[in-house]
Chains A and B, each alone.
Chain A
Amino acid sequence: MAAGKTHKDRKVSPLTESVAVRACLIGLALLFIGAFLVLPLVAVFTEAFAKGVGAYVDAIKDPIALASVKLTFIAAAIAVPLNLVFGVAASWAITKFEFRGKSLLITLIDLPFSVSPVIAGLIYVLLFGAQGLLGPWLHSMDVQIIFAVPGIVLATMFVTFPFVARELIPLMQEQGTEEEEAARSLGADGWQTFRRVTLPNIKWGLLYGVLLCNARAMGEFGAVSVVSGHIRGLTNTMPLHVEILYNEYNFAASFAVASLLASLAVVTLLAKGGLEWRYGHELAGSRG
């Protein structure tokens, strides 16, 4: 085995580093990952069970906690399918046709990623809030969006807007239009072409996008926090419930609810890793 001195292991291979250097770099990288990524994850579960399993179960069975779980699922159940339909439609229009202004359109679709979540919430308050541009009109119609469920759904839709489209556009761009054109020339109609030719080609990429979209939809905090109004049992999603419990120094309960979200994150990462490993070549940019 090569020793730590440079001239010695240069004889072993000039294309890698000495064992000592390698060990140091790996050690430093693992230390960093451990301190910044693993420890927070471990802390969530440790703190969640700090007062025992009984307290954990109580915190989750609490009616207000359950209401927050329900609201989180409702918001995701509306936002994810809508963004899925949008993602497929946008990718079809963008990748199967050539038109002017295409890169501008892609930039606009990516916009919500470069906007702070707080600003995402703010724009809806300024549009639909009591002092907002449409506030008086909405009030006269007796419709409440801000500090109510519709606002939460809108904010969630905004922050998860690009996920599916972003995954599908590069993938469908790589695949081109030949197969679809062949299907058309063989007499398939548009819908058949999409269902029988395009969809099988993009299904794993689609699932990948939906997975990431859903994780963000259920975990979104900043944007939802601005529009929610924090009414317990009514307009609190799980991340907001975590915040309230934490600010009340009810740490064990806060981490108990947080542990559900952390589990969702772990499941998402596992599923994502599995997709990359198994179907990497069918994902955009040939991941995995």
Chain B
Amino acid sequence: MSPSTANSTLAGYDDAPPPPRAWGGSWRQPSVLPGFGITMGFTLFYLGLLVLLPLMALIFKAMEFSWEQIWAAATAPRALAAYRLSFGAAFIAAVINLFFGGLVSWVLVRYQFPFKRIVDGLVDLPFALPTAVAGIALATLYAPNGWIGKLLDPIGIKVAYTPLGVVVALVFIGLPFVVRTVQPVLQDLNKDVEEAAASLGASRWQTFRRVIAPSVMPAALTGFALAFARALGEYGSVIFIAGNLPMKSEIAPLLIIIKLEQYDYAGAATIGSTMLIVSFLLLLPINVLQRWSRLRSAEV
């Protein structure tokens, strides 16, 4: 899903009237519109049944085991290697996406070129293409006899079935997150400021570095964080190209599945809980970044 919706979900809030503090002791403001009880009731029921209760099951299941078991499962060498790969590859991929996503947004907003609309639409491909399809396509392209692998093999670069392959898959998955957060901000950027900078004698590069980049930075970091968070949990596009060697190219989500297949529920629940806690912790900086980004773009 496009991160722009995440922005606008919150952005919509700015236009809403500030919620009054006291509604006569009630937890909601009286309204002439009907249907609050039934829609809210259904929302909470459905949310609880489908999302919250099952998520609690994970924590409950992890708690069935002793601290020693949990600690042993969470810090087993194979688990640590998997975290290292998942975090490391997700981070590198997000950095690559920060650069190329920024570049693609810039080119799409500022320049005219043929088939621009198609290129713009293609950016969302990783959101629409099933991850397994992306996975087998990337694995085939980067295999030593694949279209891209064939070019890289003679110069000694092996991508498929190595940690580098994991990065490639995560770059594919993360690109739209950066583009779709940076693009709207770049679009709304006020050209007057750039004119002012130019009239004061700034070179184009100085203008970019001192005027444009700081205004776009919060959005770019939001996109970075969203791409990173998505990459951490990604499974389908990675497992085909990764090679999945324990300790070497085995990502954390795959290790969860392997533990499940071995009926090691303590291991699966522990690694799962660890990943879950990390992704919740990531939500906090993402929300802060989005708020900062909105303030920033409101200023400019």
Roughly how many angstroms separate A154 CA and B54 CA in the complex, as a whole number? 11
Q: Judge if A56 is at the interface, Cβ distance under 8 Å.
A: no
A108 touching B52, Cβ below 8 Å: yes
State which residues 104-147 of A face B: CB under 8 Å: 105-119, 122-127, 131-133
Nearest CB of A to B282, in Å = 7
Q: Are the CB atoms of B128 and A44 closer together than 8 Å?
A: no
Q: Which residues A151-168 have CB closer than 8 A to chain B?
A: 154, 157-158, 161-163, 166-167
Query: Do A126 and B140 form a contact, CB below 8 Å, given A102-B19, A222-B235?
Result: no
Within the complex, the shortest CB–CB distance from A47 to chain B, in Å, comes to: 6
A40 and B172 contact, Cβ closer than 8 Å, known pairs A115-B276, A126-B269, A242-B132: yes
Across-interface contacts of A117 in B (CB, < 8 A): 233, 235-236, 253
Please determine whether A107 and B260 come into contact, CB atoms closer than 8 angstroms: no
A27 CA to B148 CA in the complex, in Å? 18
* Contact between B280 and A126, CB atoms less than 8 A apart: no
Residues of chain B contacted by A109 (CB below 8 angstroms): 47
Complex contacts, A37 vs chain B, CB 8 Å:
122-123, 125-126, 172, 175
The distance from the CB of B59 to the nearest CB of chain A, in whole angstroms, is 10
Nearest Cβ on chain A to B5's Cβ, whole angstroms: 5
Which residues from A are CB-within-8-Å of B184?
A: 285
**A163 proximity list for chain B (CB < 8 A):** 1
CB-based contact B27/A99 at 8 Å: yes
A residues bordering B, Cβ < 8 Å? 6, 10, 14-17, 22, 25-26, 28-30, 32-33, 35-41, 43-44, 47, 82, 85-86, 89-90, 92-94, 96-103, 105-119, 122-127, 131-133, 154, 157-158, 161-163, 166-167, 169-170, 173-174, 177, 180-181, 184-185, 189-190, 193-194, 212, 215-216, 218-222, 225-226, 238-240, 242-243, 246, 251, 254-255, 258, 261-262, 265-266, 268-270, 272-273, 284-285, 287
- Bound-complex Cα distance A215 to B19 (A): 36
11 further interface pairs, Cβ-Cβ under 8 Å (given A111-B55, A246-B136, A258-B137): A10-B203, A29-B106, A29-B107, A93-B39, A99-B27, A113-B1, A114-B282, A122-B260, A126-B265, A190-B35, A219-B133
A16 vs B136: C-alpha distance when bound (angstroms): 41
A97 / chain B contacts, CB cutoff of 8 Å: 28-29, 31, 33, 36, 40
Judge whether B58 and A126 touch: CB under 8 Å.
Answer: yes
Tell me the complex Cα distance, A265–B133, Å.
10
Q: Is the C-beta of B155 less than 8 angstroms from some C-beta in chain A?
A: no
Q: Which residues of B contact A161 (CB under 8 A)?
A: 50-51
Contact of B28 among A99, A131, A132, A162 (CB under 8 A): A99
**Distance (whole angstroms) from the CB of B207 to the closest CB of chain A:** 8
Contacts of A125 in B (CB 8 A): 260
List residues of chain B with CB under 8 Å of any chain A CB: 1, 4-9, 11-13, 15-17, 19-20, 23, 27-29, 31-36, 38-40, 42-43, 46-47, 50-55, 57-58, 60-61, 100, 103-104, 106-108, 110-111, 113, 117, 119, 121-134, 136-138, 140-141, 146-148, 171-172, 175, 184, 191, 194-195, 198-199, 203-204, 229, 232-236, 240, 253-254, 256-257, 260, 263, 265, 268-269, 272, 275-276, 279-280, 282-283
Bound form: Cα–Cα A33–B265 in Å: 41
Given the known inter-chain contacts A115-B279, A243-B132, please indicate yes or no for A38 contacting B51, CB distance below 8 A: no
16 contacts between A and B (CB under 8 A): A28-B103, A36-B171, A40-B138, A86-B42, A89-B42, A97-B28, A97-B40, A108-B52, A109-B47, A118-B254, A131-B263, A133-B57, A219-B132, A221-B236, A225-B257, A246-B240
